[in-house]
Structure 1
Amino acid sequence: MPIHNKLVRDKIAAILEEKQLSYTTKKLQNHTYKQELLKKLKEECREYRATDNNEEAAEELADILEVDLA
């Protein structure tokens, strides 16, 4: 099973449960959470820069906004 140590959206756990996939979660302390949130923001910005069309760009910009509002 692959290991992904990163922040995920709330609905990801429900999606994994629906697909009967195994996962674990961990609640982070404020300092660690802020570090991981910055990593997630950088990831979303990289994905935005890699888009090829306006539809993909809009989706990635929405992801950036969601991270920013977290």
Structure 2
Amino acid sequence: MHSGAQGYINDRTTDYHSLKSRLMGHGISPQRSDHFDVLNHQLRHRLMSPGKLVIVADAYSLSCSLE
């Protein structure tokens, strides 16, 4: 089965919400937004420094998780 996640290494100091918007776009569905938060729960409410690993799931992985 298709693995639907990719790793991203943050390249600049930024806040979590700005990074999420940059990686996922501004018009993401609430489900994809929540999924991103679950995958990156250890990063929420923090200032993101360069070198932090962020997990970005594609839409297929969201539908698999819901199943």
For this structure pair, what is the TM-score category when the shorter chain's length is used for normalisation?
Answer: under 0.3
Larger Rg, first or second structure (1 or 2): 1
Which structure has the higher relative contact order (CA within 8 Å, separation 6+)?
Answer: 2
Give the TM-score taking structure 2 as reference length.
Answer: 0.28
Give the TM-score taking structure 1 as reference length.
Answer: 0.27
